[in-house]
Amino acid sequence: MELLWQAQQVHRAANPGYHVQLASLLSVKTGGCEEDCAYCPQSLHNSSDVAGRPELEVEPVLERARAAKQAGAHRFCMGWAWREIRDGAPFEAMLQMVRGVRELGLEACVTAGMLSDSQAERLAEAGLTAYNHNLDTSPEHYDRIITTRTYQERLETLARVRRSGITLCCGGIIGMGETDDDRAGLLQVLANLDPHPESVPINALVAVEGTPLEDLPPVDPLELVRMVATARILMPQARVRLSAGREQLGREAQILCLLAGADSIFYGDTLLTTSNPAVDADRELLAAAGVQVGG
pLDDT per position as a tens digit, 40-63:
877 766 665 455 566 788 999 999
Catalytic residue among 33, 160, 183, 232: 33
CA angle in degrees (0–180, nearest 5) for 57-209-262 = 70
- Three-state DSSP class for residue 119: helix
What is the tens place of the pLDDT at every residue in 70-86?
888 899 999 988 889 98
pLDDT reported for residue 51: 55
Is 77 part of the annotated catalytic residue set?
yes
Q: Give, as one character, the DSSP assignment of residue 55.
A: P
Catalytic residue among 40, 122, 183, 257: 40
Band (271; pLDDT cuts 50, 70, 90) = very low
Are 231 and 239 a contacting pair, CB within 8 Å?
no
Task: Kindly give, in sequence order, each residue whose CB lies less than 8 Å from that of residue 124, ignoring residues fewer than 6 positions away.
Answer: 164, 165, 166
Catalytic residue among 154, 169, 170, 232: 169
Which of 169, 176, 226 is CA-nearest to residue 199? 169
Q: Give, as one character, the DSSP assignment of residue 150.
A: -
Catalytic residue among 64, 122, 149, 241: 241
Catalytic residue among 75, 109, 154, 183: 109
Band (272; pLDDT cuts 50, 70, 90) = very low
Rounded to a whole number, what is the distance in angstroms from the first to the last CA of the chain?
Answer: 29
What is the tens place of the pLDDT at every residue in 224-257?
999 999 999 999 999 999 887 777 788 888 889 9
Task: Tell me the mean pLDDT in the region 211-224.
Answer: 89
What is the tens place of the pLDDT at every residue in 127-141?
999 999 999 999 999
Is 257 part of the annotated catalytic residue set?
no
Which of 202, 258, 248, 182 is CA-nearest to residue 221? 248
How remote is the C-alpha of 224 from its chain's centroid?
A: 15
pLDDT reported for residue 20: 86
Is 241 part of the annotated catalytic residue set?
yes
Task: Compute, in degrees rounded to 10, the torsion defined by CA atoms 222, 131, 105, 10.
Answer: 40
User: Alpha-carbon distance 209 to 224, whole Å?
Assistant: 22
Which of 90, 114, 74, 100 is CA-nearest to residue 28? 90
Catalytic residue among 37, 75, 160, 170: 37
pTM given for the model: 0.90
